[in-house]
Amino acid sequence: MSRIGKKAVAVPAGVTVTIEGQTVSVKGPKGELAWTVAEEIEVKQDGGELTLSKREETTRAQAMWGLSRTLVANMVQGVTAGYEQTLELVGVGYRAAMKGSELSLQLGFSHDVDIKPPAGVAFAVPKQTEIKISGIDKQVVGEIAAQIRRIRPPEPYKGKGVRYQGETVRRKEGKKK
């Protein structure tokens, strides 16, 4: 039995939820998101709450129940508060800067790496060694952060590279004489 699927999703004031067939649309102060729920799941709106239930008792319905509830809850949080991911640059000469709306990274290559933000995502560089990625869609924000980290992942000997804020890098011992 899903513990997550049982919970109702609270809809705060200022957020409008529209259910058309299997498509759930959430509109709030930061923007609008939509997602199509699996056929095995039924979505109902009761005042200020959304409840999700299984239409049938199958393994797939069980799996999709908790997933669907979490994705709908993420959409509600995204349009109200939004999501933010912070990356840190560790290494001599590693720095980030903004070129208009693009992010320009110097990561030890012979060239700068420029990254254009996708729709609904904004970059900010409060310090040269810190990048903030913000947007309303949790999946897109996380994917962009992972793509930037993939350019120069932290290496285990000196710990240089791009890492998530608060991430600990397992260090290896170097060569011995």
Domains belonging to the chain, first-starting first, are: 3-80 (3.90.930.12), 83-164 (3.90.930.12)
pLDDT averaged over every residue in the chain: 93
Among the listed residues 6, 158, 161, 138, the one whose alpha carbon sits nearest the alpha carbon of residue 71: 138
Per the CB < 8 A criterion, the answer to whether 138 and 74 are in contact is yes
Cβ count within 10 A of residue 173:
7
The pLDDT tens digits for 29-60 are 999 999 999 999 999 998 889 999 999 999 99
Cα 91 from Cα 25, distance rounded (Å): 43
The pTM of this model reads 0.88
User: The tokens 């999709």 sit on which residue?
Assistant: 64
SS3 content of the chain, % helix, strand, coil (to 5): 25, 40, 40
- Output the six-digit token pair for 36: 């199509």
The pLDDT tens digits for 71-85 are 999 999 999 999 999
Cα 138 from Cα 83, distance rounded (Å): 6
Provide the residue type at 97 as one letter: A
User: The tokens 């970059």 sit on which residue?
Assistant: 123
